[in-house]
């Protein structure tokens, strides 16, 4: 079908690209301790981009038999598409990397249900007032990209998502305590999740007095993605093109203290590892910050050409959408402390295990204000009790520049590999 599409469309346009994806997903969900669904879903589709008279056209379909209509729509939309000057890439060798785990393909709904039942049963004993939610998803897929420049690449992918949450009714409020992750391999961590949730639920029974002021704050790795959003947005080459990134003109300047952050598509077993980006460009490891110094923006073909740069192989797609810029696996340098050591170093401060919503007040500038869903007061190097109605705020860039202590262990949080981080001074406000 891909060959038919390229053959037909190439007669009417300057160049064309076909992106084809086929996925199979097994999904099991428990709500309030009861099995809600266990199902398989299959999705396949084709996305077509064309360049005609210097303008880009796009169409997509989940019905391959409608390829004639898809070609017509892509050609027609090019009349009104944005101007581009890039060319679709030719075939180039890529670094070999394993992106598929056959164990995920053979993971059955029955096994997923058993893991869910295990979590429900064990949390009923350790957190009797909690209602347990479980979500387990195992997916496999095939990706193929071909174009009129001679590119024709394909590879298999797999993913495994697993999350466990205990929902505790506490008077007139609700407390969510959860753990989980997204992996590129079959990685069942039910026992680990149960142990963490049980321990946090036990600590949460004791409430701390409300606190306000500037003080040290530990963000555990599970909540660090909320802090890193601004940095991910700041290195996006589209923000450079628009002229609104706070990092413009600051290459070589120390922005993040001693921290190194990389975009690493070659990390073994990681969910976002890939041999090529979603435009067919061979993947590469990009250093974004090195010992705090800003090194590079990320680009796809279009933004690279328009800003006078080269692509960093950072194009990604949300299924059958047009490409946009994205980070593959974000890897942050670790420190040399344990979480217990960081807690022991705090005379008076806060540790955050969960926040409610995004809460960013000015995401692009790096400002944030987050409501703490699950956090504890730390006094004299010990956790004293759970904070209620408390917010933490600050600026990402100034906060990172002052970091003096980070965890020695990198935790896998989706496609982020990050440590626990102790920020020496953030604003805490209790209501």
User: Domains in the chain, please, with CATH?
Assistant: 2-201 (3.30.2290.10), 207-431 (no CATH)
Q: What is the pLDDT of residue 333?
A: 97
Check if the beta carbon of residue 26 is closer than 8 Å to that of residue 139.
yes
- Residues found in the chain: 431
Q: How far is Cα 102 from Cα 365, in angstroms, rounded to an integer? A: 43
> Can you read off the two tokens belonging to residue 181?
């992750």
Q: Where are the alpha helices (DSSP H) in 98-236?
A: 102-105, 109-126, 190-204, 224-234
Q: What is the pLDDT of residue 66?
A: 85
Q: How far is Cα 227 from Cα 223, in angstroms, rounded to an integer? A: 8
The percent of residues above 90 in pLDDT, for the chain, comes to 93
**The pLDDT of residue 171 is above 80:** no
**The pLDDT of residue 209 is above 70:** yes
Check if the beta carbon of residue 182 is closer than 8 Å to that of residue 161.
yes
33: left (phi over 0), alpha (psi -120 to 50) or beta: left
Nearest CA to 28 among 139, 109, 107?
109
Interval 341-362 mean pLDDT: 87
Residue ranges of E strands in 12-129:
15-31, 34-52, 55-61
- Considering the entire predicted model, what is its pTM? 0.94
Check if the beta carbon of residue 62 is closer than 8 Å to that of residue 19.
no
Interval 197-213 mean pLDDT: 95
**The pLDDT of residue 359 is above 60:** no
Q: What is the pLDDT of residue 220?
A: 98
Rounded to the nearest integer, the mean pLDDT of the chain is 95
**The pLDDT of residue 153 is above 90:** yes
> Can you read off the two tokens belonging to residue 101?
């785990």
């Amino acid at each position: 079908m891909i060959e038919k599409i390229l053959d037909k469309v190439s007669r009417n346009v300057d160049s064309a690209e076909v992106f084809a994806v086929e996925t199979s997903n097994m999904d099991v969900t428990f709500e309030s301790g009861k099995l809600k669904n266990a199902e398989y879903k299959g999705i396949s589709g084709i996305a077509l981009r064309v360049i005609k008279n210097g303008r880009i056209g796009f169409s997509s379909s989940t019905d391959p038999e409608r390829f004639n209509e898809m070609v017509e729509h892509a050609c027609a939309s090019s009349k009104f598409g944005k101007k581009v000057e890039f060319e679709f890439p030719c075939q180039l060798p890529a670094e070999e990397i394993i992106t598929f785990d056959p164990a995920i393909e053979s993971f059955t709904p029955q096994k997923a249900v058993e893991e869910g039942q295990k979590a429900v049963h064990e949390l009923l004993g350790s957190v009797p007032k909690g209602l347990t939610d479980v979500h387990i998803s195992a997916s496999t897929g095939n990706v193929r990209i071909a174009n009129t420049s001679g590119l024709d690449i394909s590879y298999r992918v797999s993913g495994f998502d697993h999350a466990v949450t205990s929902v505790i009714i506490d008077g007139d409020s609700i407390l969510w305590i959860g753990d989980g992750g997204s992996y590129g391999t079959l990685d069942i961590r039910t026992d680990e999740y149960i142990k963490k949730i049980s321990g946090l639920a036990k600590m949460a029974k004791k409430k701390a007095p409300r606190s306000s002021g500037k003080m040290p704050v530990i963000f555990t790795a599970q909540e660090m993605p909320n802090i890193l959003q601004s940095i991910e947005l700041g290195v996006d080459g589209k923000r450079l093109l628009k002229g609104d990134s706070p990092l413009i003109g600051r290459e070589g300047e120390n922005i993040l203290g001693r921290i190194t952050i990389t975009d690493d598509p070659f990390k073994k077993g990681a969910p976002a590892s890939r041999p090529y980006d979603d435009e067919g460009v061979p993947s590469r490891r990009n250093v974004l910050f090195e010992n705090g110094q800003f090194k590079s923006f990320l680009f796809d073909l279009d933004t690279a050409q328009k800003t006078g740069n080269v692509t960093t192989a950072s194009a990604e797609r949300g299924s059958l959408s047009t490409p946009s810029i994205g980070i593959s696996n974000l890897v942050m340098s670790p420190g040399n402390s344990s979480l217990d050591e960081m807690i022991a170093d705090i005379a008076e401060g806060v540790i955050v295990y969960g926040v409610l919503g995004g809460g960013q007040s000015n995401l692009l500038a790096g400002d944030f204000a987050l409501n703490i869903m699950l956090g504890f007061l730390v006094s004299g190097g010990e956790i004293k009790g759970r904070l209620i109605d408390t917010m933490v705020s600050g600026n990402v860039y100034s906060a990172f520049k002052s970091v003096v202590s980070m965890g020695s262990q990198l935790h896998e949080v989706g496609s982020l590999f990050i440590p626990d981080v102790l920020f020496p001074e953030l604003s805490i406000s209790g209501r």
